[in-house]
Amino acid sequence: MTGEQHIVVPAAVRVGGQDDDLEQRLDDELTAFNTAAAGGATTEPLTVRVTGEDGELLGGLTAWTWGSLCSVDMLWVREDQRHAGWGSRLMRAAEEEAVRRGCTDMIVSTYSFQAPGFYPRLGFRERGRIGGVPGGHEDVYFHKRIEPASADTSGPASAGASGPASTDAYVPAPGGHEDVYFHKRIGPASADTSGPASADTSGPASDDASGPASSGASHTAEV
């Protein structure tokens, strides 16, 4: 048997709801794969919170850094504090910390009904939109090159956008790699798990399904 041959073992496909064990196993496996592919770069969590004098949460941000890349997962500001500048301050604090950790790129995504006009004011450039969101909305992806000079939390956000929207959905990742986004329209006819996957003529298929999971999961409320 050559190294290119694989033994297909009997198995069953089961579809369900929340599965914490499965999620943890996949996270462990993909993290190990990604770390090896990125030259040993590991993922580290990054959080920023705003707390009022009464101890109540006014807003917060969760993100992660991975070598040269910072990805914002969630950004939220309490409704009565929106449009008071907290969103910009949270993003700039996260950017400052990302730069301190050695990041050169920052990514974030938001739904078209949330805050797509907010990120260009912070210097982010739109890199692509994916439809299929309920209500006819879109998932909008942004990217920004960051450096020490741009990480300033002392004042309001810059009004200058970094350029027109780009249709290039590739974002730099550690090790010279890129984050690639895909989209597919699906319907009942395509939902067939009873047999082997159908051949896809839209491009060359990869023979490795163990690649990194998507990193764009940031969906922000109005800030």
Strands (E), the chain: 43-51, 57-66, 69-77, 105-111, 125-133, 137-145, 171-173, 177-179
Most distant pair of Cα atoms in the chain: their distance: 68
Q: How confident is the model at residue 203 (pLDDT cuts 50, 70, 90)?
A: very low
Region of poorest pLDDT, from 43-47, 192-196, 207-211? 207-211
Q: How confident is the model at residue 208 (pLDDT cuts 50, 70, 90)?
A: very low
CA distance 184 to 130: 9
Region of poorest pLDDT, from 46-60, 61-75, 162-176? 162-176
Residue 1 resides in a domain:
no
- Three-class DSSP labels, 140-159: EEEEEECCHHHCCCCCCCCC
What pLDDT does residue 133 have? Answer: 93
Across all residues in the chain, what is the average pLDDT?
A: 80
Mean pLDDT value across residues 154-158: 40
Residue 24 resides in a domain:
no
Residue 144 resides in a domain:
yes
CA distance 175 to 36: 10
Residue 29 resides in a domain:
no
Q: 0.75 cut: is pTM over it?
A: no
What pLDDT does residue 114 have? Answer: 95
Residue 50 resides in a domain:
yes
- pLDDT of 209 higher than 80: no
- pLDDT of 61 higher than 90: yes
**Residues forming a β-bridge with 66:** 43, 69
216 vs 144 pLDDT, higher one: 144
Phi, psi of 148 (to 5 degrees): -50, -40
Residue 6 resides in a domain:
no
The two tokens of residue 55 are 């101890």
**Residues forming a β-bridge with 144:** 106
- pLDDT of 27 higher than 70: yes
Residue 220 resides in a domain:
no
**Residues forming a β-bridge with 51:** 57
Residue 158 resides in a domain:
yes
Q: What's the CATH number where 178 sits?
A: 3.40.630.30
The boundaries of the domain holding residue 132 are: 37-182
- pLDDT of 146 higher than 50: yes
Count of domains for the chain:
1
- pLDDT of 52 higher than 80: yes
- pLDDT of 168 higher than 70: no
- Residue of 180, 210, 177, 207 whose CA lies nearest to 38: 177
